[in-house]
Amino acid sequence: MEMLRDDGRRAEGLRPVSFERGVSRYAEGSALVSWGHTRVLCAASVEDKVPPFLRGSGSGWVTAEYSMLPRATHQRSPREISKGRPNARSSEIQRLIGRSLRAAVELPKLGERTITIDCDVLQADGGTRTASISAGFIALFDALRWLRKNEKLPSIPLKNQIAAVSVGKVAGEVMLDLCYEEDSAAEVDANLVMTGGGEFIELQGTGEGGSFSYAELAQIVEFGWSGIAEIQKMQRDALELDEAERELFKKCE
């Protein structure tokens, strides 16, 4: 008989997830995600500038920044600025979010613009990077809509629907969507970022004090894709797609 997890979930179950759009009065797109007790505020900002290597190329850029409020966690952590240097974990995560969300957009059709997705973790209970990617996609899509609505772009340059989940191995068993306690005890921690068509954009599996076999990798991928498909459905619902946008999403798969 299957063991249930502390919160009563089955191994392949997601925690309750909800997206609230338009939470920032000023940002071109924004979403607040509640994913179990994890809460991340994602704001998409459009700016008419690109990094040096793209100047004059006509192409745009998508990037992300990630940070945790000091008391997002059980114990207060000092702010990065009070240590005077970027937190290496945060840098690594924001690079992952940036790469993942860049895969959502046809950059050459974006024009010489940068969309920055700020992901600020208000409360952290595991899975903050995958929550950031999944909610960041919503903020990003609303920013693309804003660009079209304000006639800065003729159409929405969507390339892929992007969502992400974490999967782990805890006490020898593969489980979807670890909360903080599970994550702390996990032997293996994996993050999957996938397109609407079920292709990988990123797959990162780490043995934290353990290792994993090819068979376990297969199960991680199976659980991950099932969770991601569920999240992608919620993203589309939250976005209240019109007919044309629904077509656009289908074409991307």
Contacting residues toward a second copy, per CB under 8 A: 24-27, 30, 37, 41, 43, 45, 47, 65, 67, 69-74, 76, 79-82, 84-86, 88-89, 91-92, 95, 99, 103, 116, 118, 120, 122-123, 125, 160, 195, 198-209, 211-214, 217, 221
CB under 8 Å to 154, separation ≥6 — which residues?
148
Task: In angstroms, give the least distance from the CB of 84 to a second copy.
Answer: 6
Q: Residue 30 to residues 6, 146, 239: CA-CA distances in angstroms?
A: 32, 11, 11
Residue pair 194/100 in contact (Cβ under 8 Å)? The answer is no
Residue pair 12/226 in contact (Cβ under 8 Å)? The answer is yes
Nearer residue to a second copy within complex by CB, 3 or 25:
25
**Cross-strand partners of 41:** 32, 120
Closest to 89 (Cα-Cα) out of 189, 168, 185, 19: 189
Nearer residue to a second copy within complex by CB, 212 or 239:
212
Q: Residue 78 to residues 40, 67, 112, 120: CA-CA distances in angstroms?
A: 19, 12, 36, 15
Task: In angstroms, give the least distance from the CB of 195 to a second copy.
Answer: 6
Task: In angstroms, give the least distance from the CB of 243 to a second copy.
Answer: 26
Task: In angstroms, give the least distance from the CB of 242 to a second copy.
Answer: 26
* Residue type for position 145: R
Nearer residue to a second copy within complex by CB, 115 or 231:
115
Separation of alpha carbons 159 and 15, rounded Å: 28
Task: In angstroms, give the least distance from the CB of 2 to a second copy.
Answer: 25
Nearer residue to a second copy within complex by CB, 50 or 244:
50
Nearer residue to a second copy within complex by CB, 72 or 153:
72
